A and B are shown apart, each in its own frame.
Chain A
Amino acid sequence: MRILFSFIAVLALVLIAYAGVKTANLQFLFGVVVPYAAIALFICGFIYRVVKWGSSPVPFCIPTTRGQQKSLPWIAQNKLGNPSNTMEVIGRMFLEVFLFRSLFLNTKTEMTSSNRVVYGSEKFLWLASITFHYTFLIVLLRHTEFFVPTAPFFLDIIKSVDGFFEIGLPRLFLTGAVLLASTAYLFARRLYIPQVRYISLAADYFPLVLIIGIAITGMLMRYVYLTDLVSVKVLALGLLSFKPVIPEGIGPIFYVHLFLVSVLLAYFPLSKLMHMGGVFLSPTLNMANDSRMTRHINPWNYPVHVHTYEEYEDDFREKMIGAGIPVEKEGVVNGK
């Protein structure tokens, strides 16, 4: 159901764009209006979500510590798992954001036939995630070539590395294929790992199918229904300079690709894809474990009703005196 829904939704999106361009000539809608709207939604939505998170304070210092704390000088601290200052926090965050350290250290729990539990290492999620994210990033960077009149310096590097194997004509870019493969794996694991299947929502399948759709349409344009890149560049530069034009000779497949990307952009701030921004704000990751060294302030800390020592002594004075425990008010009985 959830899975089918995602496929149908993405297929519907494809058909809408295809039909819109092919039969109703809505190039301007799909080439200009929708992308602008999507970008606006993406930017505003993203900012809104981050501001919303930021508006909730962090009342307590609650890092999750993964390793030895800083205590006595002769005990080696695990600086990247249990940071005690800002520099070390940056180190920890760097490993999380750029190398997905937690996923790298993932384990897998299994029962043996003799009813014991054993824990093995589990690297596939890490491998697929990190390949997915980096190929996505590279593909994104490669697209900048459409948006600038002359190619920036990094493009040549990316392209030469990317097309290293010089297979086919036009040259096969590895990233596209790897992106597709890793996304497909992320999708497949949601089906065949029983627990992951059990927890997956439509909102988990949908973005994966959407990205698969984007990658397939992109590759179709590059290798099958060749698209006039010069015209695409005219369109892109037009969008960028707020003087949109619809050049002749761009096939419907391009509009389908663009439409799916637009949907992804618009959907982004509404969804779990916001983990991109959220990870930086996560208090269990981005705080230094220094709560005994520096007082953390809770902005909404308020006075509470406590049971004072005086009340306690009033309750137990005689027993305390009987047990030889010093009291504040020797002669007083029952609080009088």
Chain B
Amino acid sequence: MASKFSATPEELSKIDHNPPKKGWMDTPVEFKEHTFCWGAKGKNLAALELPNARDWSPADEDWKLPENWQKIFLDGMKERLGKYRSFRLFMDICVRCGACADKCHFFIGGGDPKNMPVLRAELLRSIYRRYFTVSGRMFGRAARARDLTIDVLKELWYYYYQCTECRRCSVFCPYGIDQAEITIIGRELFNLLGLNIEWIAGPVANCYRVGNHVGLEPHTITSSVEFFCDDIEDVTGIRINPTFNRKGAEILFVAPSGDLFADPGTYTAMGYLMLFHELGLDYTWSTYASEGGNFGFFTSNEMGKRLNAKIYAEAKRLGVKWILGGECGHMWRVLHQYMDTWNGPADFMEVPVSPITGTRFENAKSTKMVHIAEFTADLIKHGKLKLDPSRNNHLNVTWHDSCNPSRAMGLLDEPRYVLKSVCNNFYEMPENTIREKTFCCGSGTGLNASENIELRMRGGFPRANAVKHVRDAHGVNMMSCICAIDRATLKALMEYWVPDVEISGLHELVGNALIMKGEKERTLDLRLVPLPGKAAKE
């Protein structure tokens, strides 16, 4: 039934940002092929004890909802209005000034007015007005209040799975109104009705039982890492033997499982392994807490907490002093803003101290978890790493700030410092597309499926457009980032829009530049590609 997505970049970049004549309340939702994800499978919903577990498809007329779905939705809304000040406030105070309207990558790349953050919010606000405000009850449509019908539910669903919770809109709003927060709550409401998408529910079910999104069982994790160590040996001549689930280690290392699963994330994992080996770090991986990312966070607050609980539980079981976290965007939103609140206090650990430099990470003194970019920046600043940035000379690198570390944390200059230390050719993208104004990859929050490929290419258009700019201006051929989802999705995005630019993690480039004790002369980079000018002498 499904046709293949065949629109060319040329066709896709003809975007009309002018809204139609007809008002949005009179424009019914149309489920366009290649713009939405498949519905969650019943078995995954059941495995997670989520309500209304059954197979369903968003494309079907009948969504197999419970009889009293309206009541469930509205009761859920009422409960959350009482639990989240953000939600109640954001429903009330928007002045519709339009400052956020042209800030969403989905609107910029698609032109659908319902992807303007303010209108995405209005879709739910119209329900809020109808059922929770006096004026909405009294004036109905005139006050832009509307009944919660099945068509309205479908419209909400369609557009709340076209928001990657990137918070770019929030940066521009004079009141900080954050559509991400509204989308998070909207998705919680859908989950009360069993309306998750499979690309989220599947990984969550995996993560819950097996320990990580991609479903790597313990022996697969060790063999993957073994495999990376073989490659590292080929490149450096050094054999690394990392440990797993080791009690008494000083540090627990938690990475996004994507880094163990597919390239280019795997090269980043190699970079971690080389760095830790070179430092002689007393650390361990865990197969139980083998996921730093958290697709539960895209399901509900409760599911996020259920998955996240493993990290502290494992730290406690192993008796580590503190936790080091790998490169992943939404993982760090959760670790930075939620973990301690959900599953803390982490008083069984100590304030993180770098065993190499002695730096006390005061900024992580309660949560006890340090970002690897912070850790490595500190090492470099103290001159603890021997680096040869010229090994990255074949790369003209630009930096993609991932949404969550930028707008829910502010991790901007640590990775830049590392990057500039490990490569010689670094070029920033235009000012309005980086740092806190950075553009999403277009596939975050579990929208990195294949069936919604048009949506992803449209959502990633503003990012790709900025990359194209630095490619043309400076010959950029590599975009580096600290996010596992980015590494998976930007690759496809670049292939579509800017084919000659590749994607890497930060620690892949660190691994390339790192001069290790006793290493052989490097002739290959971590991708096993010959280094120009340093090819093996025949």
Identify the A interface with B (CB < 8 A): 5, 49, 52-72, 74-76, 78, 81-82, 84, 96, 100, 102-103, 105-109, 111, 115-117, 119, 125, 129, 193-204, 270-272, 274-275, 278-279, 281-285, 289, 291-298, 300-301, 304-309, 312-313, 315-316, 319-320, 322-327
Contacts and interface: CB of A to CB of B under 8 A. Distances in A.
Contacts of A272: 92-96
A28 B435 CA distance: 60
B101 A64 contact: no
Interface string B170-209: 1111111110010000000000000000000000000011
Contacts of A306: 306, 309-310, 313
A82 B362 CA distance: 16
Contact of A297 (B218, B341, B413): B341
A45 B337 CA distance: 34
B101 A199 contact: yes
B13 interface: yes
Given A62-B86, A64-B170, A320-B287, A199 B412 contact: no
B465 A194 contact: no
Contacts of B344: 295
Contacts of A270: 134-135
* Most chain B Cβ neighbours within 10 Å, of A75, A78, A108, A294: A75
A78 B174 contact: no
Contacts of A69: 363, 409-412
Contact of B93 (A117, A274, A322): A274
B interface secondary structure, majority: helix
Given A202-B143, A320-B287, A326-B247, A96 B178 contact: no
Contacts of B288: 309, 312-313
B155 interface: no
Given A199-B119, A201-B143, A312-B211, A291 B367 contact: yes
Given A106-B172, A274-B93, A292-B363, 8 more contacts: A59-B84, A60-B337, A66-B410, A71-B363, A278-B93, A285-B176, A296-B340, A298-B342
Contact of B366 (A295, A304, A316, A327): A295
Given A119-B432, A199-B96, A291-B336, A70 B211 contact: no
B170 A295 contact: no
Contact of A282 (B23, B175, B313): B175
A226 to B, nearest CB: 36
Interface of B: 10, 13-15, 17-19, 23-24, 49, 81-89, 92-99, 101-103, 108, 113, 116, 118-119, 122, 134-135, 142-144, 167, 170-178, 181, 208-209, 211, 217-219, 222-223, 244-247, 287-288, 301-302, 305-306, 309-310, 313-314, 317, 336-338, 340-342, 344-345, 359, 361-367, 369, 374, 377-378, 381, 406-414, 417, 430, 432-433, 435-437, 461-462, 465, 468-469
Nearest to B359: A72
A291 B340 contact: yes
A326 B246 CA distance: 7
B362 A315 contact: no
B176 A284 contact: yes
B411 A71 contact: yes
Contact of B340 (A49, A283, A292, A300): A292
A67 B435 contact: yes
B497 to A, nearest CB: 11
B436 A65 contact: yes
Nearest to A283: B86
B462 A325 contact: no
B351 to A, nearest CB: 10
A82 B341 contact: no
A61 B341 contact: yes
Contacts of A323: 218-219, 222-223, 244
B376 to A, nearest CB: 11
Contacts of A70: 363
B242 to A, nearest CB: 12
A109 B337 contact: no
Contact of B306 (A271, A275, A304, A325): A304
Given A292-B363, A300-B83, A195 B17 contact: yes
Contact of B407 (A64, A275, A292, A312): A64
Contact of A72 (B81, B211, B374, B435): B374
B314 A309 contact: yes
A281 B93 CA distance: 11
A130 to B, nearest CB: 10
Contacts of B176: 64, 102, 282-285
A325 B218 CA distance: 8
A298 B84 CA distance: 10
Nearest to A198: B19
Contacts of B411: 69, 71
Given A304-B306, A307-B208, A76 B413 contact: yes
B102 A108 contact: yes
A198 B113 contact: yes
A133 to B, nearest CB: 11
Contacts of B95: 204, 272, 275
* Most chain B Cβ neighbours within 10 Å, of A55, A102, A291: A291
Nearest to B109: A117
Contacts of B178: 62, 64, 284
A296 B103 CA distance: 30
A301 B143 contact: no
A190 to B, nearest CB: 8
A96 B174 contact: yes
A107 B176 CA distance: 16
A291 B92 CA distance: 26
26 contacts: A56-B81, A62-B408, A65-B408, A72-B381, A72-B414, A115-B10, A119-B432, A119-B433, A194-B18, A195-B18, A196-B101, A199-B116, A199-B122, A201-B96, A203-B144, A271-B135, A272-B94, A278-B89, A278-B92, A278-B175, A279-B174, A292-B336, A292-B369, A295-B341, A296-B341, A316-B218
A195 B113 contact: yes
Contacts of B417: 75
Contacts of B363: 69-72, 84, 292-293
A68 B434 CA distance: 12
Contacts of A320: 218-219, 245, 287
Q: Which 4 A-B pairs have the closest CB atoms?
A: A69-B410, A284-B176, A278-B93, A323-B219
